Structure 1
Amino acid sequence: MAEIILIQISGDDRPGVTSALTGVLASYGVDILDIGQSVIHNQLTLGILIRIPEESESAPVIKDVMFKGYEMGVNVKFRPIPDDKYELWVGAQGKPRHIVTLVGNRITGKQISRITGIIAENGLNIDIINRLSGRIPQNGGPAPRYACVEFSVRGFPRDLDRMRTAFLHMASEDQVDIALQEDNAFRRNRRIVAFDMDSTLIQAEVIDELAKEAGSGEKVSRITESAMRGEIDFQESLRRRLATLKGLDASVMENIAERLPITEGAERLISNLKKFGFKTAIISGGFTYFGEDLKKKLGVDYVHANKLVVEDGKLTGEVEGDIVDGPRKAQLLREIAEKEKISLQQVIAVGDGANDLPMLSIAGLGIAFHAKPKVKEDAGQAISHFGLDSILYLIGLRDRETD
């Protein structure tokens, strides 16, 4: 019967190590069943699982690999793998995989200990850990915007909801953001990112800004907050707020659009999404005038929002057509996906309010952005401490790949 041996190589990394060692294996006609390599601070760790042909013996292979390792200045260890353990390893290939992404201002031992503890408590095994953020200079120089580590884990979570809740609590207590995604083909092929506008793509509620101009700011703000918490129906709340704007001069919209603050990281995120071929959309319960303005500034592809009715240069306090509420947002997201001929699993949706939950729930990746507690709990993922560009890490992009 063929022998199966795990070769473990460690030492200073330099070009040619893998080539030299596998060249020895090639001369004996061995099969490579698995191979993995990592380099941390120029220190190489390489593992090669090999199968010695039945007609050959392992001793000459081991001897020659050890000698070549000595020549290359690396340490080489060998471990025979029993048939039963090998078959267990083969059988594990059908287990689901998840990606856990940790984003912080810095990565600490406490954070890694805590997050890996949650992973272990749920019966999952960590296969790979990667740093996605850039290297941190010791003596000055530009530092990475964020610190990010990604864990590839394997197995069946004992309780997925409890695991998500544990990550949510850790994120709140440690002032970090943590995402847990199923690792599948869709995760690696996202194609559309859809944003809510107010308090997501911009750091304002436009209707509040309009109400200030109309002298109804405090009243509208109270209704807005209640709607965002999910306490009253969005359509009813919008009608109440719109009614306070009747007679407002439409020219104020231009001034408001000019002063709306774009959310931190939005421009960096969208410019990189465009570079990698993503389509972007604004799907908002706000207003088309401001959505179209952002479309020009940021290069967004689609805008769907409520169109304010203007007569004789004044707002009527009404909108044209159906109100874009939560169910309508989900429907618009479906229509965009159909138009682009992609699955909803390839869509990312980002929002902060209760009326965003329908579209967050149908997207392959739904992200509650700086959202109310109820929205964070119900959404698949949450970003609560960092800018919109931290979404690039959830896509799996590294700092060196982005602008």
Structure 2
Amino acid sequence: MKNKNENLFLIHATGKDRSGLIAMLTKVVTNAGYNIIDIEQSAPHGLFYIIMIIEPTNNSIDKPIKFFEERFEEFSTGTELNISIRNFNGSPRKSSKSWLRFVFVGPDRPGLIASLSEFAGKNNANIHRMNMISRGEIIACESLLDISGLRIEKSGFVSGLKTLGEELGLQIVITSENVLSKKIRKLAIIDLDENLIQIQGLSEFFNSLEKDKETERFIQNFRDFYSTKERNSHEIKHFCISYLNGMNHELIRDIISKIIISPGTEELIRALKLMQYHIALISSSISIFTDFLKDQLDLEYAFGNAIDVSKKKLTGKFNENLEIDLKKKPKLINWLASMEKIPEAEILKFGLTPDENEKSSILSHLEDLKISIG
């Protein structure tokens, strides 16, 4: 009788994906009297690959290598699979390994993966799995590292990885994971204020609101207001919103029709969605915009300032109870973290900085991410 801890084999197969491949391969293993103890399979972009570790049972056949090679040669002829089998001298996955998962998002450019993998390699961190998505100018990547053999302290490795991310213009979120313990929940929060909303010309914007007679006067008043002293975004928005006093609610549709979502913005959202992120928009701009974007981009959350309405006309004032400012944003982030059951430190954040006039490092590299009006 064979010892179940001896004579492990590793089966590896790659080729064009089609239905029934796993069933055919595993049937051969079963017919040989072997048991599958570890398996990893995927089929990205129509390319099938599978890795299996198998062990003998009391009913295992003699001369398994010859048996498997003959069966696999038959399959290769009909399926164009490249299948191999060899003795496996290692050991199956150990739950005692130390894992670290990191996600990065940022502008795509040559050498990103090479730089990150070089950093991991020189510190003896093994890349166990990597899933990368590149859409246009944006890249999103999720990687699982085995850091059991780190040559430096984990804190030093994490600090170095984040520093490298900043140098490359990437936002990196790092978490320690028991890879089999739970489904990973992921959340990204994007601040629209200065980074994703761009008004292309004040006169064009206000002309679209059918206030042509008052536009020139408003533009001059705005210039006077802006030039008297340095203004922050909060003051500018309140001044602009005051100009909407008396606007009919129906004209909001005209504003919405002027919104153009840039390809860069759509690429970022699409990449995050493909990485299975829930996405929240937080903005101290008008909720009209954030609600529209939530629907257009199929987002989970959107928060913006509501404008008071009286007799179906805008008052030109924010609803104080629903106004979002620098003090309320952290509370919203805390609430979102609680709702999604994610530690705040593990949330991807774009554009959310302590200073409303400061731009987060990643956004200096993502100037194409915007929504235009006009």
Using structure 2 for the length normalisation, give the TM-score.
Answer: 0.63
In the alignment, is the contact (CA less than 8 A) between 2:33 and 2:59 conserved in 1?
A: no
Determine whether 1:19 maps to 2:17.
Answer: no
User: How do residues 234-313 of structure 1 correspond to structure 2 at under 5 angstroms?
Assistant: 238=234, 250=245, 262=261, 264-266=263-265, 282-286=281-285, 290-296=286-292, 298-299=294-295, 302-305=302-305
Alignment of 1:1-400 (within 5 A): 1-2=3-4, 3-10=6-13, 12-13=15-16, 15=18, 18-37=22-41, 45-53=49-57, 55=58, 59-73=62-76, 74-81=82-89, 85-86=90-91, 89-93=93-97, 95-101=98-104, 104-105=107-108, 108=110, 110-133=111-134, 150-155=142-147, 157=154, 158-171=156-169, 177=170, 179-182=172-175, 188-190=184-186, 194-203=189-198, 213-216=221-224, 218-219=226-227, 222-224=230-232, 238=234, 250=245, 262=261, 264-266=263-265, 282-286=281-285, 290-296=286-292, 298-299=294-295, 302-305=302-305, 320=320, 324-335=324-335, 341-345=339-343, 350-355=349-354, 372=359, 375-376=360-361, 384-385=365-366
Pair 1:90–1:344, CA change in 2 (3 A) = closer
Query: Structure 1 pair 75/350, CA: closer, same or farther in 2 (3 Å)?
Result: closer
Instruction: Report the Cα offset of residue 282 of structure 1.
Output: 4.6
Aligned 8 A contact 2:131 2:142 in 1: yes
Q: Could you tell me how far apart the structure 2 residues matched to 1:309 and 1:75 are?
A: 68
Deviations 1:103-134 (A, max 9, x none): 5556x4x3332221122234421122334348
- Give the letter aligned to residue 343 of structure 1: K
Deviation at 1:343, TM superposition (A): 2.2
Cα RMSD of the aligned pairs, angstroms, is: 5.2
Give the corresponding residue for 1:367.
Answer: none
Distance 1:70 1:246, change over 3 A: closer
Distance 1:264-1:14 versus aligned 2 partners, 3 A rule: closer
Q: Give the letter for the 1:384 counterpart.
A: H
Using the alignment, how far apart are the partners of 2:112 and 2:348 within structure 1?
27
State the partner residue of 1:231.
none
Partner-residue secondary structure (3-state), 1:65: helix
Cα deviation for residue 28 of structure 1 reads 3.5
* Stretches of structure 1 lacking an aligned partner (at least 5 in a row): 135-143, 172-176, 226-237, 358-369, 390-403
The structure where helix makes up a greater share of residues is 1
The CA deviation at 1:30 is 2.0
1:26 Cα offset (Å): 0.7
Residue by residue over 1:132-169, the C-alpha shift from the partner in whole angstroms, topping out at 9 and shown as x without a partner, is: 348xxxxxxxxx67565543323264421221111221
Higher relative contact order (Cα pairs below 8 Å, separated by 6+ residues): 2
* AA in 1 matched with 2:366: H
Tell me the TM-score normalised to structure 1 length.
0.59
| Pair 34,50 (structure 1): closer, same or farther in 2 beyond 3 Å | same
Report the CA distance shift for 1:283/1:349 in structure 2 as closer, same or farther (over 3 A): farther
Q: Count matched residues.
A: 327
How many angstroms apart in 1 are the aligned matches of 2:60 and 2:314?
Answer: 90
Unaligned runs of 5+ in 2: 77-81, 149-153, 206-217
Paired-residue identity, %: 16
Query: Counterpart amino acid of 2:70?
Result: F
SS at match of 2:26: helix
